[in-house]
Structure 1
Amino acid sequence: MRIAFVSFETVFHRDTETNQRFQTVLEQLAASGHDVHCYCAEFWADESSTVERDGITYHGVATGLEARGSFLARLPFVLAGSSPDVVHATAQPPTAVLAASVGATLARVPLVVEWYGDGGLADDRWTRLAAARGARILTPSELVATWVRERGADGDRVETVPNPVDLERIRDVPAGDRVDVIYARRLDEGANLESLLLALAELRDRDWQTTVIGDGPERATYERLASDLRIDDRITFAGDCSLEERIAAYRGAHVFAQTAEHCVFPTEMLWALAAGCVGIVEYHVDSSAHELVEGWDRGFRTTSEAELADAILEAGDLEYRAFDDRFADYDRSAVTEAYLEQYRTLQEEYGLL
């Protein structure tokens, strides 16, 4: 299948969650043998109009990020001449969706629009116009699906496709040191690690060890809080770790605690749950993390530090695991197939199969 992806900005411009998600889709489909093309602003230094990396052909529709107007003006005609089977566009920026929609119409193929929403969704004219476009609208979670519907998207066209993890990779990494609770996230103003620290402080008379993975501008603040609460001797601030190191840590941990206030999809938590952790989520209105643990006997949803402390105690009665096959539907192969199924369904609806 020849797939034309549209992403004005890529991970080679800026390493954001939205760009990471889109790049993962490109890489998975290219690895599956499909003809993958990405139409974007140039990120390479030479004067060539295309560049190939890891089986993906990148087409420079504009000379750089400063040339957005040129990108939007040229994109419909570039897509029309590329003979794709489907056009798949990211909704960042929303104006690119409008240009991609015209291009897909000229090419007489369906348009798939990817909304991720890290940082939230604007509620302006361009976002609402973009939300009305696309034969299929894909989001990582029900949280983002709700946001897009609120901007005017047809609910019948909205589907959720999660971020993937690699279950084989999890199995291949030996378990690390045993700890009771683990937390992982960039330690910035949205981390809300204080909720976990306050809950742990209520359990200071119990025997436990905790690891915090991640670094950021608020790390020193959290370390001071742990010291003020007199629990710093049982908390290891591990800083930034590679994926292999994080997987090992998750396989050795019993509980993964998710307390961040903003999260469109809890990818790090998913790695931990697939690596056997019990999941405890502090509910927040702008976080989708609770969606992973709803209706699961190894998952807890809490709304306060006291409930979080109680959940940690209750989780201690559950068996330790270093892998959980319940998350097979989140494996890279399954998520890749979910995208392909969306494409095939749309091609059939358009009479292209």
Structure 2
Amino acid sequence: MRIAYVYDAVYPWIKGGAERRVYELSQRLARRGHDVHCYGARWWDGEREIKLGDVWHHGVCPPHPLYNKNKRSVKQALLFALGVLRNLEGGFDVIDCQEFPYLSCFSTRLRSGGASFFITWHEIWGDYWIEYLGVSGYLGMAVEKATATLTGNNIAVSEMTRRELLKLGAGSIVVPNGIDYSHIQSIRPADSEHDLVFAGRLISHKNLHMLLEAIALLSDVSLLIIGEGPEASRLHSLARSLGVDNRVRFSGFLKYEDTIALIKSSRAFVLPSTREGFGMAALEAMACGVPVVAVRHRMNAACDLLTPETGVISELSPASMADAIQAALDLSRKAGQKCREIASRYDWDVICGEIERVYAERV
């Protein structure tokens, strides 16, 4: 098959769940003999078209900051959508466009010709648009709903996203994100040990302030926070004011392999976020054999990955989180095998086989 992926952010120049999905699937499909192309902004130097691994990358517009004052840039979305309209070639059997930032889905639809047109949905914002943009959020909700009508070939990366798409009147098939399971297994545990680890961006919806308050309710429990973000300074101050700074360590950003090594040497992984379109960090922790604490919320797909044998689901409060953490620590000695067993089902090679079958059935 001749396959095109459309997404403005391109791995490895931009690192995130959607970017990693496009990279992993495109490279594996190409190695299986398919002719695969990726259309994104030109984040690299040099020619407009380059070959990265086994996949051709086409820069349809110059790079532009993805965010403006911590909000996704409308100007950038427009520039990319126009670039797709001008530069997306014909002759593809399959075109898979990532849903965000929406406008490119419309220009891709116009240029798709006879290709089977897919939209991959990483999350549905719904009424979160109002919290994000105020009154202007109603426009975001309308555009999101209109995007869901562009094709009958919607792919959801999680059961949560599938359920939310149904609320927009759109059916979908679930093809989840994945992990490099064998690579994770090859990494040795770190020498330093912590009871708990969090890894991710230090931003408001991760609810790390509540995690620190939960730590204050627990005695002799240590926490390692891996990552950077706009909440860092406030979290440092909060740890001091709660008197837990001697039990909480902030490492800043670390290499992927170092992060995995530290998760492996911990007793539990904590993801207090209320917004996860899939929950990649939770799945990677399970691949390390470590149980996970997640927060119950309709926008948190990480909860769908957990079973009573592999993790604990908390309510959004310090007291509930403290109880869940203690339960996960108690679970840690017997959770390893089941955690790894479930995580192995999400290896990227397995997911690649799933997406290949979905494409072939609809060409």
Does 1:97 pair with 2:105? yes
1:111 aligns with 2:128: no
Q: Distance in 1 between matches of 2:262 and 2:13?
A: 31
Once the 2 structures are TM-superposed, how far is the Cα of residue 19 of structure 1 from its aligned partner? 3.4
Question: 1:196 is matched with which residue?
Answer: 211
Matched, 1:334 2:333: no
- Letter of the 2:153 partner, please give it: R
Change (3 A) 1:190 1:125: closer
1:183 aligns with 2:198: yes
Say if 1:167 and 1:10 are closer, same or farther in 2 by CA, change over 3 A.
closer
Matched, 1:26 2:26: yes
Distance 1:130 1:13, change over 3 A: farther
The reply to whether residue 306 of structure 1 matches residue 319 of structure 2 is yes
Structure 2 distance, partners of 1:279, 1:69, is 38
Cα distance in structure 1, aligned partners of 2:32 and 2:200: 30
Q: Which moved more, 1:21-30 or 1:303-312?
A: 21-30
TM-score (norm 1): 0.84
**Deviation at 1:224?**
2.0
Distance 1:42 1:246, change over 3 A: closer
**Do the aligned residues in 1 keep the contact of 2:175 with 2:354 (CA within 8 Å)?**
yes
Pick the aligned partner of 1:150 from 167, 172, 177.
Answer: 167
Q: Distance in 2 between matches of 1:67 and 1:226?
A: 42
Could you tell me which runs of 5 or more consecutive residues in structure 1 were left unpaired when the two chains were aligned.
348-353
Query: For the Cα contact (< 8 Å) 1:89–1:100, is it kept in 2?
Result: yes
- Could you list the per-position Cα deviations for residues 246-294 of structure 1 after superposition, in whole angstroms to 9, with x for gaps in the alignment? 111111111111102322121112111110111111223322221111x
| CA–CA distance in structure 1, aligned partners of residues 39 and 209 of structure 2 | 42
Contact 1:254–1:276 under 8 Å retained in 2: no
- How far 1:125 moved relative to its partner? 4.5
Q: 1:100 to 1:331 in 2, by over 3 A?
A: same
> Aligned partners of 1:141, 1:316: CA distance in 2, in Å?
27
Matches within 5 A, 1:121-160: 123-153=140-170, 155=171, 158-160=172-174
Question: How far 1:233 sits from its partner (Å)?
Answer: 1.2
* Cα distance between partner residues in 2 of 1:188 and 1:62: 29
- Report if the CA contact (8 A) 1:123-1:151 is conserved: no
Instruction: Please name the residue that 2:188 is paired with.
Output: 174
Evaluate the alpha carbon distance shift between residue 41 and residue 210 of structure 1 in structure 2; reply closer, same or farther with a 3 A threshold: closer
Question: RMSD in angstroms over aligned alpha carbons?
Answer: 2.7
Could you tell me whether the CA contact under 8 Å between 1:182 and 1:257 is conserved in 2?
A: yes
Q: Check 1:187–1:94 CA distance in 2 against 1; reply closer, same or farther (3 A cut).
A: closer
Please say if 1:53 is aligned against 2:40. no
Q: Distance in 1 between matches of 2:101 and 2:149?
A: 14
Q: Provide the rounded CA distance (Å) in 1 between the counterparts of 2:100 and 2:266.
A: 36
Give SS of 1:216's match: coil
Report the equivalent of 1:235.
Answer: 248
1:7 is matched with which residue? 7
Partners in 2 of 1:144 and 1:2 — Cα distance? 27
Percent identity, aligned pairs only, is 25
Query: Could you tell me which amino acid in structure 2 is paired with residue 111 of structure 1?
Result: F
Letter in 2 for 1:331: D
Report the structure number with the largest CA radius of gyration: 1
- 1:67-115 residue CA offsets vs partner (Å, 9 max, x unmatched): 5564354357x22xxx3221212223433323333443x33x3111112
Q: 2:86 aligns with which of 74, 81, 89?
A: 74
1:5 and 1:38 in contact (8 A); partners too: yes
- Looking at structure 2, the residues matched to 235 and 72 of structure 1 have their Cα atoms a distance apart, in angstroms, of 46
Q: Bigger CA drift: 295-304 or 240-249?
A: 295-304
Distance in 1 (alpha carbons) for counterparts of 2:300 and 2:226: 20
Distance verdict in 2 for CA 1:57–1:132, change over 3 Å = same
Contact 1:72 1:95 in 2 (8 A): no
**For residues 305-338 of structure 1, what are the alpha-carbon distances to aligned partners after superposition, in whole Å with 9 as ceiling and x for unaligned?**
2222222222233243387222111111111111
TM-score if structure 2 supplies the norm length? 0.81
CA contact (8 A) 1:300 1:311 kept: yes
> Match of 1:253, SS?
coil
Give the aligned partner of residue 340 of structure 2: 324
Local SS of the residue matching 1:215: coil
Aligned partner letter, 2:26:
L
| Deviation of the 1:187 alpha carbon | 1.2
Letter in 1 for 2:120: E
What is the CA distance between 1:12 and its match in structure 2? 7.0
Aligned-partner Cα distance in 1 for 2:195–2:45: 48
Q: Partner amino acid for 2:117? A: L
- Cα–Cα, structure 1 residues 216 and 61, in superposed 2: closer, same or farther, change >3 Å? closer
Q: Cα 1:255–1:40, aligned 2, differ >3 Å: closer, same or farther?
A: closer
Conserved? CA contact 2:21–2:178, under 8 Å? no
Give deviations 1:186-240, integer Å, cap 9, x for gaps.
Answer: 1122221122211121112xx3322111122222221222222222212221111
Point out where structure 2 has 5 or more consecutive residues left out of the alignment.
64-75, 130-138
